[in-house]
Amino acid sequence: MIENRPFLAFLTHLVLILGVVIVVFPVYLAFVASTHGSGDFMRGLVPLLPGPHMIENYSFMLNEGISTAGAPPLSIMLLNSLVMAISIAVGKIIISILSAYAIVFFKFPFRLLAFWTIFITLMLPVEVRIIPTFKVVADLGMLNSYPGLIIPLIASATATFLFRQFFLTVPDELMEAARVDGAGPMKFFRDILLPLSRTNIAALFVILFIYGWVQYLWPLLVTTDSRYYTIVMGIKRLAATADAEPQWNFVMAAVILAMLPPVLVVILMQRLFVKGLVETEK
Amino acid sequence: MQAKRTVFPNKGLPYLLLVPQLAVTLIFFIWPALQAVKSSFEREDPFGFKTTFVWFENYRRLFIDPLYLSTVSKTAIFAVSVTALSMSLSLILAVAVNRVLRTNRLYTTLLVWPYAVAPVVVGILWWFMFNPTIGIAPYMLRAVGISWNHRVDGVDAMVLIIIAASWKQISYNFLFFVAGLQSVPQSLIEAAAIDGAGPFKRFWTIVFPLLAPTTFFLLIVNINYAMFDTFGIIDATTQGGPAQATNTLVYKVYTDGFIGLNIGSSSAQSVVLMIIVIALTAIQFRYVERRIQY
């Protein structure tokens, strides 16, 4: 700090604390709601302090679910979300590291075309091409299946770019030395390039895991069988029980459970998360 | 395009390496996009028996449809408000975090995690807070004489989705502003301090102009976010209602296509959206190329 201004320092902390309150408060309310009994929401105002029903609400949602609302037990949905998020992250990393490797370390006809074909996916978010994509998946018989949930979301221009940028910074001498020593392209890739990319892969994994976890529209469209519901889309079904007021305590328990895994990933791997976020968007 | 000075001589291998990504891209991205373009020029009869080629009829109808035009302006209001609200809050928080030394990491951790909350979950959180019967926000607003009901009042509904969408985006903007602030040379700030510039003057005349590249980048990203990534928020809170007051372009593609089953119109809307994304991406990339290094 350049000069000592106690008032400004006070203001700074005030701003930050207010910011944290704004960010945390909605989630605090949801947590509080998830610890109360169903009757506590009839009195006209949400409770502001935690109640005594936390364990029973959570275990009820995890093990039984609300079948009248078409929601299976949350443990199944959590597992589906986990499978989907991890597969999307791993799949995206594998296919993009391979294609970035091909684009940077080889010269071949149509290299530019391949690059642009990948690049253009950046411009086609699921939301703008939902109906035809849905049709393709339906024609391939992939509705209500893990491949249907995962594969259409797996192509990623951003991951390919990140690896391409990184590969371009790898010194040419490294590859020349490997070739002099008789390493073929796959050996070079496996023994030199992959170990060098470790931090990039980890950072990307964090970002892509979150991307996969928060998917909503796509699972909503391709799953009608409750065995394949992911938790993020399942919540919506819980909350939208016809015209009746939802059972807030159960809905909020589901909300907390749905946020917990990706939020924990961000908090525990903050450094990788920041690196991944700032670098993929460059 | 850049490649290595020396490359591997293999002829077939690069194609093999590209196959997985290109296959997924062609089947699930390019082909559906072409289908969307194709069916935007067609009209299907109500029973789905035959489709006729109608040239630009779907587009013509779209652009004279007052409902669509009002959706365009609603989306613009929404995107601009979310961008302005969330970016200004994040900038204030980033500047504050940049001033503290010891508690820097703690505050950062407490501020960044909403990035990982799914949009639909964000929607439910705010929907709960603003629930007209039991929510805490309407209760407090009533105390100051404002009656809140986003189920019947279009303005209330719009405010609700703007707040929810901005809340989610704070963490993202915050991280980029912090990164931008850290790259402002300390020597410039110290020089200004020696010349007698106070903290606010230093911010407006040195730090803020130097942040321009970050700000511009975030502007594009935020508009993009508000237009395309807020489907979950809207679906969980207002579902486009009341009376279309919060129907954005993306949400309308979904409701017209999947619920209204009007494939022609929905496809035409998709194509319009693709053009918007392409324009935004192009602007973003032009900027990246020209990024000014201070």
Q: Which domains does chain A have, with CATH numbers?
A: 75-280 (1.10.3720.10)
Any domain includes B35:
no
Per-residue model confidence (pLDDT) at position B94: 93
Asked whether residue B171 is assigned to any structural domain, the reply reads: yes
Residues of B in contact with A137 (CB under 8 A): 28
- pLDDT score at A282: 52
- Residues B29, A129: C-beta atoms closer than 8 Å: yes
Residue A90: predicted pLDDT: 94
**Cis status of the peptide bond prior to B242, with omega within 30 of 0:** yes
Contact A108 B11 (CB under 8 A): yes
Question: Do A245 and B108 make contact, defined as CB atoms within 8 angstroms?
Answer: no
Amino acid at A6: P
Q: Among A106, A237, A257, which would you mutate to test the B interface (most chain B Cβ atoms within 10 Å of its Cβ)? A: A106
Q: What is the DSSP code string of A53-122?
A: -HHHHHHHHHHT--GGGT---HHHHHHHHHHHHHHHHHHHHHHHHHHHHHHHHB--TTHHHHHHHHHHGG
Residue of A nearest to B236 (CA): A236
Residue of B nearest to A31 (CA): B125
Whether residue B263 is predicted with pLDDT greater than 80 in this model: the reply is: no
Digit-coded pLDDT (tens) for B195-222: 888 888 888 988 999 898 888 888 988 9
The confidence band for A126, taking pLDDT boundaries of 50, 70 and 90, is: confident
The tokens for B42 are 């067609």
| Distance in Å, alpha carbon of A62 to nearest chain B alpha carbon | 18
pLDDT for A70: 62
Within-domain flag for B250: yes
Task: Name the DSSP letter for residue B53.
Answer: E
Query: Residue B185 in contact with residue B108, Cβ under 8 Å?
Result: no
- Of A22-31, A124-133, A265-274, B61-70, where does mean pLDDT reach its minimum? A124-133
Q: Which residue does chain A place closest to B261, by CA atoms? A: A131
Identity at A160, one-letter amino acid code: T
Q: Distance between CA atoms of A163 and B17, rounded to whole angstroms?
A: 14
Residue at B181 is within a domain:
yes
Residue B87 lies in a domain: yes
Q: A115 and B1: CB-CB below 8 Å?
A: yes
Question: Which one of B5, B10, B16, B25 makes the best mutation probe of the A interface by having the most chain A beta carbons within 10 Å?
Answer: B25
**Shortest CA distance from A265: residue in chain B:** B116
Please name the amino acid found at residue A97. Answer: I
Q: How far is A199 from chain B (nearest CA, A)?
A: 19
pLDDT at A243 over 80: no
Residue pLDDT, tens place only, B156-203: 889 999 999 999 999 999 999 998 998 888 888 889 888 888 888 888
Number of domains in chain B: 1
Contact B97 A154 (CB under 8 A): no
Q: What percent of chain B has pLDDT over 90?
A: 18
Task: Give residue-wise pLDDT tens across range B83-137.
Answer: 999 999 999 999 999 888 788 888 888 898 899 999 999 998 898 888 877 778 8
Between these two residues, A48 and B271, which has the higher pLDDT value? B271
Q: Are the beta carbons of B100 and B106 closer than 8 angstroms?
A: no
Q: Among A59-68, A150-159, B15-24, name the one with the lowest average pLDDT.
A: A59-68
* φ and ψ of B240, to 5 deg: 85, -15
Q: Which of A23, A48, A252 sits opposite B114 (nearest CB)?
A: A23
Integer Cα distance of A222 and A169 in angstroms: 40
Q: Which residue of B has its CA nearest to A121?
A: B29
HSE toward the beta carbon, residue A224, CA cutoff 13 A: 4
Search chain A and give the residue with CA nearest B138. A45
Q: Do A107 and B31 touch (CB under 8 A)?
A: no
* Spatial contact of B237 and B123, defined as CB atoms under 8 Å apart: yes
pLDDT bucket at A242, cuts 50 / 70 / 90: very low
Quick check: is B285 in a domain?
Answer: yes
Q: Tell whether B245 is covered by a domain.
A: yes
Average pLDDT across chain B, whole number: 85
Which ipTM value was assigned to this complex?
0.86
Q: In angstroms, rounded to a whole number, what is the distance separating the alpha carbons of residues A13 and B29?
A: 47
Size of interface A-B (CB pairs under 8 A): 303
Question: Which residue among B26, B97, B170 places its CB closest to the CB of A23?
Answer: B170
Identify whether B241 is part of a domain. yes
Residue type, B151: R
Q: Domain limits at B181?
A: 80-123+165-290
Q: Quick one: three-class SS letters along B185-246?
A: CHHHHHHHHHCCCCHHHHHHHHHHHHCHHHHHHHHHHHHHHHHHCCHHHHHHHCCCCCCCCC
Identify the helix (H) or strand (E) that includes residue B98. helix B66-99
Partner-chain contact A217 B254, CB within 8 Å: yes
* pLDDT number for residue B292: 46
Q: Count other C-beta atoms under 10 Å from residue A221's C-beta.
A: 20
Provide, rounded to the nearest whole percent, the portion of chain A with pLDDT above 70: 90
- Cα gap B285→B287, rounded to integer Å: 5
Lookup: tokens for B9: 């001589």
Give dist(CA B161, CA B236) in Å, integer.
Answer: 10
Gyration radius of chain B's alpha carbons: 24
More confident residue, A27 or A39: A27
Please report residues of B whose CB lies closer than 8 A to that of A186: 13
Quick one: pLDDT band at residue B294, thresholds 50, 70, 90?
Answer: very low
| The pLDDT value given to residue B293 | 44
Cβ neighbours of A233 in B, within 8 Å: 120
* Cβ A41 vs Cβ A245: under 8 Å: yes
Alpha-carbon span A60 to A205, nearest angstrom:
32
Question: CA of B3: which chain A residue's CA is closest?
Answer: A104
Q: What is the mean pLDDT of residues A230-244?
A: 73
Q: Is the pLDDT of residue B240 over 70?
A: yes
Q: In which band, very low, low, confident or very high, does the pLDDT at A169 lie, cut at 50, 70 and 90?
A: confident
CA distance B26 to A124: 12
* A115/B21 Cβ within 8 A: no
Give the span between the Cα atoms of A143 and A95, in whole angstroms: 23
Enumerate residues 6+ apart whose C-beta is below 8 A from A108.
A102, B11, B14, B15
pLDDT digits (tens, 9 = 90+) for A78-88: 899 999 999 99
Q: What is the mean pLDDT of residues A122-130?
A: 75
Residue in B2, B118, B134 closest to A44 by CB: B134
The nearest CA of chain B is from the CA of A53 a distance in Å of 19
Look at A55 and A133; give whichever has higher pLDDT: A133
- Segment among A93-102, A193-202, A246-255 with least mean pLDDT: A246-255
**Entry pTM:** 0.89
Give per-residue burial for B203-215: e unless 16+ CB within 10 Å, then b: beebbeebbebbb
CATH of the domain at B173: 1.10.3720.10
Where do the H-state alpha helices sit in chain A? Answer: 6-33, 54-63, 74-105, 111-120, 130-139, 146-150, 157-169, 172-180, 185-188, 194-196, 198-213, 217-222, 231-239, 248-268, 270-280
3-state secondary structure of B90: helix
Q: pLDDT-derived band of residue A148, with 50, 70 and 90 as boundaries? A: confident
Chain B: closest CA distance from residue A75 (Å): 17
* Helix and strand numbers, DSSP H then E, in chain B: 15, 2
